[in-house]
Structure 1
Amino acid sequence: MSGTFRSEIDSNVTDPETYSETKNSIIIESEYDLGVYSKEVLAILIKNDIPPTPNNFSIYFDKLLKKKSQTLRDHIISILEFEENTKDEESVLAEQSLKEGFLLMKNILSATANLYKNIFFMTKILTKRKQELEECSNIQETKSVLLSLESDISKLTVILKKRGSSIKSVYNNSIEILKNIQSNTKFHDKYGIYNKRYLITKIEQEIELVRKFKYKSSLIMTEAIYELGDVNNDKAVVLLRKTVARLLFKTSKRNDIVAYYENDLFVMLLKHTDIEGAKQASKRIYDLVSNSSFLLADREIKLKISIGITNITENNSVEEIISSAKNGIKKVYENPDLDFAVLLRNS
Structure 2
Amino acid sequence: MTRGGRFRAHDLGEPTSELERYAKEVMEAMVREGIPPTPSNYDAYFDKLLDDKPPAFRKRILKLLELEEGDEGEHRGHLERRLRDAFANVKKFLVHINLLYKNLRHLETLVEKRAFEAEAVADKSGMKTLLESMKKDIETMAGIIRRDAGELKKTYEETTDLIKEVQEHAIYDDRFGVFKKNYLLRKMKQEERLIGEFRHESTLMMVRAREEVIERLKSAKIRQLVLRTVARLLLKTSRRSDIVAHYDGGIFAILMRHTSLENAQMAADRLKDLVGNTNFFVGDEEIMLEVEIGIARIDLDRSTEQTVVCALQALDMDGESDEPCGICPQDVEI
Taking structure 1 as the reference length, the TM-score comes to: 0.86
Matching residue of 1:210: 195
Structure 2 unmatched ranges of 5 or more: none
1:243 equivalenced with 2:229 (yes/no): yes
Matching residue of 2:32: 47
What does the per-residue CA deviation read over 1:298-331, in whole Å, with 9 as the maximum and x for residues that have no partner? 4332210111122112221112211222222232
The structural deviation recorded for 1:115 is: 0.8
1:312 equivalenced with 2:303 (yes/no): no
Matching residue of 1:330: 316
1:99 equivalenced with 2:84 (yes/no): yes
What is the 5 A alignment of 1:80-229? 80-225=65-210, 226-228=212-214
Runs of 4+ in 1 over 6 A off after TM superposition: 28-31
The structural deviation recorded for 1:188 is: 1.5
The structural deviation recorded for 1:14 is: 7.8
Contact 1:228 1:301 in 2 (8 A): no
Amino acid at match of 1:117: K
Matching residue of 1:4: none
What does the per-residue CA deviation read over 1:176-224, in whole Å, with 9 as the maximum and x for residues that have no partner? 1111111101012311111111111111111111112101111111121
**Cα separation, 1, equivalents of 2:164 and 2:207:** 29
Q: CA RMSD in A?
A: 2.6
3-state SS in 1 of match to 2:107: helix
Matching residue of 1:61: 46
**Cα separation, 2, equivalents of 1:310 and 1:132:** 84
The counterpart of 1:286, out of the listed 272, 277, 285, is 272
**Cα separation, 1, equivalents of 2:330 and 2:57:** 33
Amino acid at match of 1:241: L
3-state SS in 2 of match to 1:295: strand
Contact 1:311 1:345 in 2 (8 A): no
Matching residue of 2:241: 255
**Percentage identity across paired residues of the two chains:** 32
Q: Report the number of matched residues.
A: 329
Q: Report which stretch shifted further, 185-194 or 52-61.
A: 52-61
Contact 2:319 2:326 in 1 (8 A): no
3-state SS in 2 of match to 1:332: coil
Contact 2:205 2:311 in 1 (8 A): yes
Matching residue of 2:254: 268
**Cα separation, 1, equivalents of 2:225 and 2:291:** 16
**Cα separation, 2, equivalents of 1:179 and 1:266:** 24
The structural deviation recorded for 1:259 is: 0.8
Matching residue of 2:61: 76
**Cα separation, 2, equivalents of 1:126 and 1:299:** 69
Structure 1 unmatched ranges of 5 or more: 1-6
3-state SS in 1 of match to 2:302: coil
Contact 2:268 2:324 in 1 (8 A): no
Contact 1:312 1:345 in 2 (8 A): no
1:303 equivalenced with 2:289 (yes/no): yes
The structural deviation recorded for 1:18 is: 7.9
**Cα separation, 2, equivalents of 1:274 and 1:286:** 18
3-state SS in 2 of match to 1:313: coil
Q: Report which stretch shifted further, 316-325 or 28-37.
A: 28-37
**Cα separation, 1, equivalents of 2:172 and 2:16:** 33
**Cα separation, 2, equivalents of 1:140 and 1:36:** 101
Q: Report which stretch shifted further, 178-187 or 138-147.
A: 138-147
Larger relative contact order (Cα-Cα within 8 Å, sequence gap ≥ 6): 1
Contact 2:7 2:200 in 1 (8 A): no
The structural deviation recorded for 1:343 is: 2.8
What does the per-residue CA deviation read over 1:146-172, in whole Å, with 9 as the maximum and x for residues that have no partner? 322222221121112111111111211
3-state SS in 2 of match to 1:268: strand
